[in-house]
Structure 1
């Protein structure tokens, strides 16, 4: 029976391919899982990165403006593109 592939294994395989830059978190340079748009700078980051910002200084690292949960929106369109890209990379 084949081994079950973990999400991390899939991400590692995809990273070896040409990943569109828009799919990468601009702060961590990893493929975003849950992209959110920061309204304070109009830049998309992964929600996990946003959560780290909220634990630290609560400042948008690009605009240097105060940041909170009300100033982000899900980037569903980008998330769908990333999911499609991952599916292609694993098929």
Structure 2
């Protein structure tokens, strides 16, 4: 996908990730435009790391949609990971 300034760099729609009966992320939606910097803040267990791992395809969402630079990390994992980094 050709990126323009109008395309979000990160887009999450109704992200759900469950571990058994526990919802780690429940219906998260967000859009990060190009050139912006955001941080995740929240209490322990709020789903911050789980969300980032879904963006990197380190975890598969239970449901919902994740796009990074317009790409699905599950289908274009190498291309996504070549453009972003994650330091735990």
Choose between structure 1 and 2 for higher RCO, CA contacts under 8 A separated by at least 6 residues: 2
Who wins on radius of gyration, i.e. which is larger? 1
Structure with higher strand content = 2
TM over 0.5: no
Structure 1 length as normaliser, TM-score? 0.31
Structure with higher helix content = 1
